Structure 1
């Protein structure tokens, strides 16, 4: 994992909370208009950054709805090139998945596409471009999607924290070279400036917060140290844990999410550990005292309605190959899965609806990969025991992991590395559920 090489470490604290996430009200169909925007990525007083965004901001509006409600969004594209929106982690109808060339036609500049789906799971999700995603996500086309429980846990504030990095010049200009083959062949496009942006920048001492961390970076794996409070991890990738878990280590691959419930004792800091001093990504300041703290045990979230795997009908292997310092493969691009680069004409695997499969993921490369399956969640497996339920799993170099998935959502679904430059350079395939 590469450390950040930043020039403004001493002023991160003042800039990290400068952008508060806008929220969208869903009483009527929501319009998300993709367009060029100007953002204050660096601290106030420093240069601004020309980006892409939605409804005038990046990140785009935070969309919130209740579990079981329908989300209706008209996506209007005004960025000057094709685009589309993928609803990451939501187990929705295939036609709404937002993958150009697989589930829909690309949305041309000046065009629109209407997305409509029921949110079956409560949890922390997000939406992002799936058209030239290594470029459009890096430029800012993404936003949080929060599905609230019918009976959510009692907290004083529900706070979304978006974590990202950017490759910027000293004046704030976003550097180009999004298709840089050197980046593609190594760890991806790692930024030189990073922030954790909370949707709220002040709380009271004694407040109980639900923190929803989302790693929206295109390549960087973020270890995060949280200080200033005590609490538990309650969900991963939108899926509740069977019981709250101690906060021993937080590591988020690109696209992964984590929910925590934390009681505030002082200013909350989000730090990136480095070989030198911790790098402050962001903070939430404390102002005043809560006279009636909620206190007590951290509650367990309601269990997700996800099918439990049966004995696997399929035992499959998917090997990640290529990249710098990697072995040869038979694909025609930098990266390959089972010797093939890019989407094959036929699926990696086909399933009847409801079948359970075990997929052994083998990282035979020199770099980490965050493998993401569309339309489903899967269980990470260790020594024959079901582990965490996720939609994106991080495999470090030379690591192997088995996942178990009940393929119960019909359609054609991508399976790819969410280090988006790796996906662009060959690390993607697809499965089909009849």
Structure 2
């Protein structure tokens, strides 16, 4: 294990002031909010429910590099990467005792889960940091079926990059019929010459550009796993992008996978129109894959996001007897989750303008000239030029509505009324992609660049392309302070973050 030394971790302000000169490690939050009654930390524990599960954060090692000769020091939940796969039925209670055996504070955020605010795992906003040697019990009900995951929300760029994440599967009451199910947590790793994780986190180039990208891509910590499948077999694949920053463009090698859920929530089953499927950090996607009944050889799934820098993902090797003579016609559609439908006619409407980063040049100007941003709104926020100047003077690398949460007041972006329908217009005035994640809620993606989306999909993490404008709609029905941030973790660290308050 590479021991974390708090004295070597400058604050985000110190990092930004020296951005041009190099890199730094992440700051550790220490703000203490009010705690939920009945939830305990430390060694003195209250009576625990009978179905309590344990997740222990601790250093370990993993065979990440092909060949298995080199062990990479990692940080894990329960000694493995990914951490323990948690499965519950929809409507069941989730009770997890999280014990921190690291040398620095940590927490667990239950990504995509609609749960009580005090269980959201955001130190400084919803709970105290779980200090080394302490335990925190997370308790909530799994209201929505689907594919979710868990990870820390303190010093996240470092802790996730070292391997701290796992899957939470909430099973449907009425599941679809498949022959097998796979859960794939897809990640990339930046390693040194001896197989160790590169210890330079939140470097200036990463924060101002595309984030921390690693050269080794793995699925469940294995590089390009070889998986045997049979002709005619129907497979459900639950994919989770756990990378700090890498967006995958998945080429399914001639297969015709049906997308059946996004971010845990059902979508009308369909084969995506694009030749590759864009898969952003934090996002989950459930596919049904039918292996052709006459298939031979194999199907090599690839990541093609960067031209000329393709990454192998999974090799589906066809072998064995045919499972059926014709492709299964069993239903693929999942039952809807109990999400409140927003009232678009009477919704509150707000704008979120994302600026900053490197090479953004004329993006903001283009958006104004094309009418995506009106001058009146722009007058109330800082310009991109001011944001760029801030990079050299201690300001934010990235800003939300002109705000840098480190330098400005730490109040909410918006105060929302409980039960209020909201439509947020998210505008990406930068040269980079941003997956924007809202805690504690799911939202419909209702339009992109003014064009209604075909499936009006429910998500909690929406990928926004450079110069793109996306409308999302949701009901603010979950009281508390909820993070709203870019899930490229280095961008969040650099200022692309904030929270909304639901009264």
TM-score by length of 1: 0.89
Instruction: Give ranges in structure 2 of 5+ residues lacking alignment.
Output: 1-48, 361-383
How far the C-alpha of 1:155 sits from its partner, in A, is 0.5
Q: Determine if the alignment matches structure 1 residue 270 to structure 2 residue 282.
A: no
Matches within 5 A, 1:89-238: 89-197=112-220, 201-227=227-253, 229-238=255-264
After superposition, the C-alpha distances for 1:232-275 in whole angstroms (9 at most, x for unaligned) are 11011111013434464311111011100111235343211253
- Contact 1:202 1:285 survives alignment (8 Å): yes
In the TM superposition, what is the alpha-carbon distance from 1:313 to its structure 2 partner?
Answer: 3.4
Call closer, same or farther: CA 1:29–1:188 in 2, change over 3 Å: same
2:95 touches 2:137 (CA, 8 Å); kept in 1? Answer: yes
* Number of the residue aligned with 1:255: 282
**RMSD (CA atoms):** 2.1
Residues 233 and 247 of structure 1 are in contact (CA less than 8 Å); yes or no, is this contact kept in structure 2? no
Specify the alignment match of 1:318 in structure 2.
352
Give the secondary-structure state (helix, strand or coil) at the position aligned to 1:131.
coil
Q: Is the CA contact 1:316–1:359 (under 8 Å) kept in the aligned structure 2?
A: yes
Q: Which has the higher helix share?
A: 2
Does 1:328 pair with 2:385?
Answer: yes
For 2:79 and 2:346, how far apart are their aligned partners in 1? 47
Q: Does the residue aligned with 1:137 lie in a helix, a strand or coil? A: helix
Which of 404, 407, 410 is the equivalent residue of 2:473?
404
Instruction: Report if aligned partners of 2:202, 2:212 keep a CA contact under 8 Å in 1.
Output: no
- Cα deviation for residue 73 of structure 1 reads 0.5
Is 1:206–1:289's contact at 8 Å kept on the other side of the alignment?
no
Q: Structure 2 vs 1, CA of residues 125 and 165 (structure 1 numbering), >3 Å: closer, same or farther?
A: same
Q: Is the CA contact (8 Å cut-off) linking 2:256 and 2:271 kept in structure 1?
A: no
Shift of 1:114: 0.2
Q: Residue 268 of structure 2 aligns with which residue?
A: 242
Higher alpha-carbon deviation: 96-105 or 44-53: 44-53
Does 2:311 correspond to 1:279?
yes
Shift of 1:278: 4.6
Taking the aligned partners of 1:121 and 1:37, their CA distance within structure 2 comes to 33
Structure 1 residues 119 and 217, CA gap change in structure 2 (3 angstroms): same
The answer to whether the 8 Å contact 1:219/1:420 transfers is: yes
Q: Name the counterpart of 1:416.
A: 485
In structure 1, the residue matched to 2:4 is none
Structure holding more strand per residue: 1
- Mean alpha-carbon deviation: is it higher for 300-309 or for 282-291? 282-291
Counterpart residue number, 1:8:
none
1:13-64 Cα deviation digits (max 9, x unpaired): xxxxxxxxxxxxx983110000001011111234221110011101101111
The answer on whether the counterparts of 1:312 and 1:355 sit within 8 Å (CA) in structure 2 is no
Unaligned runs of 5+ in 1: 1-25
Within 1, Cα distance between the matches of 2:269 and 2:233? 22
CA distance in 1 between partners of 2:101 and 2:226 (Å): 29
